[in-house]
Amino acid sequence: MLFATAKSQTSPGQEFLPGDRLAVLLPLPLAGAYDYRVGADQRLAPGDFVRVPLAGRQAIGVVWGPSCGEIAAEKCRAVVERLPLPPLPAPSRQLIDWVAAYTLAPPGAVLKMAMSVPAALEGPPRQASAYITGMPPAGLKMTPARQRVLAAAGQPLAAAELARRAGVGVAVVKGLVDAGALLRVPAPGPAPVASPDWRQPGPVLSDGQAEAAAALRRRVGDGFSVSLLEGVTGSGKTEVYFEAIAEALAADRQVLVLLPEIALSAQWLDRFRQRFGAPPVEWHSELGAAARRDGWRAVGEGRAQVVVGARSALFLPFPALGLIVVDEEHDASFKQEEGVVYHGRDMAVVRARLGAIPIVLASATPSLETQANVVAGRYHHLHLPNRHGGAQLPTVELIDLRRYPPSRQSWLSPRLVEAVTATLAAGEQSLLFLNRRGYAPLTLCRRCGYRLQCPHCTAWLVDHRLGVGSARLQCHHCGYLSPRPSVCPACQEQDSFAACGPGVERLAEELTARFPEARIAVMASDTLTSPRAARELVGRMTDRDIDLLVGTQVVAKGHHFPLLTLVGVVDADLGLAGGDLRAAERTFQLLSQVAGRAGRAAHPGQVLLQTYQPEDRVMVALAAGDAERFYAAEAEDRRAAGMPPFGKLAALIVSGPDAEAVDRVAAQLARLAPHDPQIEVWGPAPAALSLLRGQHRRRLLLKTARRVSVQSVLRHWLAQIRPPNSVRIQIDVDPYSFV
C-alpha cells in the first residue's frame, strides 16, 4: 500500500474515472502515497484535495498521480469526496517531491507544510447562514437575553457566534429566528484582498538603479532565471525589485517575497503600501487563525497577488506565481532546522525553476554559495555600488580592546564612551549592538564557582530581567525557566550568585548610569512582545524619541533610521567563537549589516568595532570596507578544504533519551560508513549541545566532492541500519548549524 517514492504525475489533462486506482499523498510524517479507488460519480485529477478513509477515520490528502501498486482496484478503498478547492498546482506538487528527495524527508511531511491550515481546507460550511436583526414582530415577548441578541445582531453573524457574543444559548437565537425577529441572510465571505496597483508611479530611479530594474523587468515572463541583486545597504535594492514586482503584477502574475524576521518588518510593509497603494498578504507564524485561513485561500484562488512571508510561504498553493524575491538572501534564518530540514532560499530557486519563472536574490553581502553560482555563470549579477542620493557609507574604526580595555564592570572602552557622548551632544542617535539577549549569559556562585545550567540542555541559564516574564533565568534552547535560587545548590551559601558577562539589558544598565539624561531603549526579540511593539519602537526611533538604542541582531535587519549616525559594536568577536564553517562569513555579513544602519541619510555615519582580534580577516575587511578581498580569501580557504560551496556536507544527528542507545547507533553508523575516495566521514562526536531538551545527541558529518550525490550515499548508508524506536537519526543536508 505504501510507496515512499511516488512522484506526482503532472501530465496535463490527466483524469481519473470511477473505478480507477490512484495514489493519494497524505500530510503524515511517515507516509508516502497510498492507493485509493475513484468512487462512483467522481472525476479526479492530480492536485485535487480529497477526503479519504484512513484507519477507521477520514483524512484529507492530495491526488498525487496514478498508483504504482499491485493491489487490484476493487481491494482499494474508495475516495469519499473531492473538496471544493482549487487543486494544488503542479509546481507546488513537484516542489514537494523535490524537497522530499533532496532532504530525505518523507513526502507526506513536506506536504504537511503545504497543508498547514486545516481550516482553509475545510472552508466555511456550504450555504452557511447568518442572522441579522429585523423588525421585531408585534407582540414579541422580550427578555433581557433576547434583547442582548437583537443588540448584537446589527451585523450578519452565524448563530453560534451571535449566541456567544450575547452570552446566551443557541436556543434563544433559534427562538428569535422562529418568531421572525432575526432574518436569515447568507454568511459574508472572507474580507476582500486589496489589489496592489502596479500603475502607481515609483520614485525616479538613478541611472544604475534604472539599468538594474530594466534587466529584472525583462526577465519577468521570460522563463526561469536567477538574478543576484547586490548593493550596499541603502543603495535602493528594494526600490529596484519593486519594479520587477510591478512588471509581474502588470502581467497578472502572483509574486512571493521572502524576508527574514518578517513579523518585525513593519517598515518594509509601509514602503510596499506606499509604492503600490495596498498591503501585501502576510504569511508568518505570528498570524492568527483567521488570517491564515483567509490568506491560504486567497493565494490558492489567485486573489492574493503579492505575498510577503517567511520561508514557509514557499509552500503556499500559488496557481499563477510569476516572480520570487528573496531579500537578505544570505540570512541564516532561511534555514529551517526542525522537522523537514531545508533551506528556504535554495528551495525558492527550485520553486522558480519548476515554475519556469525568475527569482531575485537581494543582499548587500551575498552568501558564498550565491557568489559561486555567479562566478560559474549560473546566476545573473546586478550591482548597485553606491548609496542612493549621495549618502556616504559610514567610516569604520577598530577599537583594540587589548590596548584600550573598558574599566572594571564596564563594557564600553573610553573611545566608544567618548563617541556616544559626542553623538548625544550633536542631537543624533546611537546604536549599541550586542548580539546577546538578556542581562548576562552566565550566573555563577562567587564562593564555589558553581554555574547555573539547564537541567535539559548543555547550556548555561541566561539571566533575564526585562521583557516577557520579567526576572528569570532562562535556557535559550528549550525555554526552561527558573527563578534565581537564593542558596547555591553546591555550597549552600546564601545570595552568592553573580552575573557574568554582558547581555543587552546589562549594557543598557551601564548606559543609563553613564548617560542618565539620555532616552534609552532595548530592542531584542524577547523585549518586543508583538509585531505592534516592534513597530512602535521603530516609530519612536524614527521620531527621535530615543537617543540610545541597544539591540541584538533584530535591529540589524532592514531598518532605516535617518538620524542614526553612530553604531558601536560592543563585542565584534562574539560570532567568531565556536568556529563553525561559516563563522567568519556570518560575522562579516552581520556586522556589515549593523554598520549599514549608520548614516543612511544626510548625516555621515561612524562605526566603532570593539575587538580583541583586530588582525582577524573579518575585522580588517570591515575596517577597510573591502568585501571583495574578504570573500576572495574566504572562498579560497573553502575551496582548498573542499568545503561548501566547493564540496558538499551532510550532517547526521543521532539523538534519544538514553545515552547508551544513542552511542550504540552512532557507532554502528560509523562502522557502516561509506568507503570512497570522494567521501569523508567524521565522527561520531558528542554534539556541542550534547544534551538538548533531554535528548542526548551525537553528530556525524559526511563530506563529499560536488559531483557525488549526497542523497544516494545517505540512502544507501541508512538502509543498512534499523535504530530502535527510542533513537532518532536526523539528516541535515547542507548543514548551517553545527551544534
Interface residues toward ligand ADP, by CB under 6 A = 203-206, 209, 231, 233-239, 388, 560
Residue 739 CB, nearest approach to Zn ion (Å): 13
For residue 331, the partner it binds in Zn ion, ligand ADP, none, with Cβ less than 5 to 8 A by kind, is none
Residue 233 CB, nearest approach to ligand ADP (Å): 5
Site residues (CB under 5 A) for Zn ion? 454, 456-457, 475, 477-478, 480
Task: Pick the closer one to Zn ion by CB: 389 or 479.
Answer: 479
Residue 534 CB, nearest approach to ligand ADP (Å): 18
Task: Pick the closer one to ligand ADP by CB: 201 or 288.
Answer: 201
For residue 620, the partner it binds in ligand ADP, Zn ion, none, with Cβ less than 5 to 8 A by kind, is none
For residue 235, the partner it binds in Zn ion, ligand ADP, none, with Cβ less than 5 to 8 A by kind, is ligand ADP
For residue 238, the partner it binds in Zn ion, ligand ADP, none, with Cβ less than 5 to 8 A by kind, is ligand ADP
Q: ∠ at Cα 535 (533, 536), nearest 5°? A: 65
Angle formed by the axes of helices 159-166 and 144-152, to 10°?
A: 120
From CA 621, how far away is CA 728, in angstroms rounded? Answer: 42
Residue 564 CB, nearest approach to ligand ADP (Å): 13
Angle formed by the axes of helices 583-595 and 617-624, to 10°?
A: 30
From CA 645, how far away is CA 373, in angstroms rounded? Answer: 9
Give Cα separations from 611 to 413, 558, 572, 608, 619 (angstroms).
10, 25, 5, 10, 8
Q: Which of these, 653, 640, 652, 644, lies nearest to 713 by C-alpha position?
A: 652
For residue 388, the partner it binds in ligand ADP, Zn ion, none, with Cβ less than 5 to 8 A by kind, is ligand ADP
Q: Which amino acid is at 123?
A: G
Give Cα separations from 519 to 426, 524, 541 (angstroms).
14, 17, 10
Pairing status of strand 520-523 against strand 548-551: parallel
- Spatial contact of 3 and 32, defined as CB atoms under 8 Å apart: yes
Q: Which of these, 635, 647, 739, 638, lies nearest to 702 by C-alpha position?
A: 647
Residue 230 CB, nearest approach to ligand ADP (Å): 9
Residue 557 CB, nearest approach to ligand ADP (Å): 10
Task: Pick the closer one to Zn ion by CB: 480 or 646.
Answer: 480
Task: Pick the closer one to ligand ADP by CB: 359 or 665.
Answer: 359
- Spatial contact of 63 and 45, defined as CB atoms under 8 Å apart: yes
Residue 524 CB, nearest approach to ligand ADP (Å): 22
Q: What is the CA radius of gyration of the chain?
A: 29
For residue 738, the partner it binds in ligand ADP, Zn ion, none, with Cβ less than 5 to 8 A by kind, is none
Residue 206 CB, nearest approach to ligand ADP (Å): 6
Eight-state DSSP code of residue 390: G
Task: Pick the closer one to ligand ADP by CB: 238 or 565.
Answer: 238
Task: Pick the closer one to ligand ADP by CB: 259 or 316.
Answer: 259
For residue 373, the partner it binds in ligand ADP, Zn ion, none, with Cβ less than 5 to 8 A by kind, is none
For residue 477, the partner it binds in Zn ion, ligand ADP, none, with Cβ less than 5 to 8 A by kind, is Zn ion
Task: Pick the closer one to ligand ADP by CB: 203 or 455.
Answer: 203
For residue 203, the partner it binds in ligand ADP, Zn ion, none, with Cβ less than 5 to 8 A by kind, is ligand ADP
Q: How far apart are the first and last CA of the chain?
A: 38
For residue 723, the partner it binds in ligand ADP, Zn ion, none, with Cβ less than 5 to 8 A by kind, is none
Q: Which amino acid is at 547?
A: D
Q: Which of these, 531, 464, 62, 77, lies nearest to 263 by C-alpha position?
A: 531
For residue 236, the partner it binds in Zn ion, ligand ADP, none, with Cβ less than 5 to 8 A by kind, is ligand ADP
Find the DSSP H helices in 140-236. 144-152, 159-166, 170-179, 207-219
Instruction: Assess whether the previous peptide bond of 441 is cis (omega < 30° from 0).
Output: no
Residue 600 CB, nearest approach to ligand ADP (Å): 7
Residue 595 CB, nearest approach to ligand ADP (Å): 13
Q: Which amino acid is at 732?
A: D
Task: Pick the closer one to ligand ADP by CB: 67 or 209.
Answer: 209
Q: 74: which residues sit within 8 A by CB, 6+ positions away?
A: 37
DSSP 159-171: HHHHHHHHTS-HH
Give Cα separations from 13 to 18, 25, 37, 129 (angstroms).
16, 19, 19, 36
Task: Pick the closer one to ligand ADP by CB: 186 or 203.
Answer: 203
Task: Pick the closer one to ligand ADP by CB: 340 or 382.
Answer: 382
Q: Which amino acid is at 317?
A: P
Residue 272 CB, nearest approach to ligand ADP (Å): 11
Task: Pick the closer one to ligand ADP by CB: 21 or 388.
Answer: 388
Task: Pick the closer one to ligand ADP by CB: 237 or 697.
Answer: 237
For residue 454, the partner it binds in ligand ADP, Zn ion, none, with Cβ less than 5 to 8 A by kind, is Zn ion
Record the cell numbers describing residue 440, joined without a space.
548576562
Residue 477 CB, nearest approach to Zn ion (Å): 5
Find the DSSP H helices in 73-129. 90-103, 107-114, 118-122
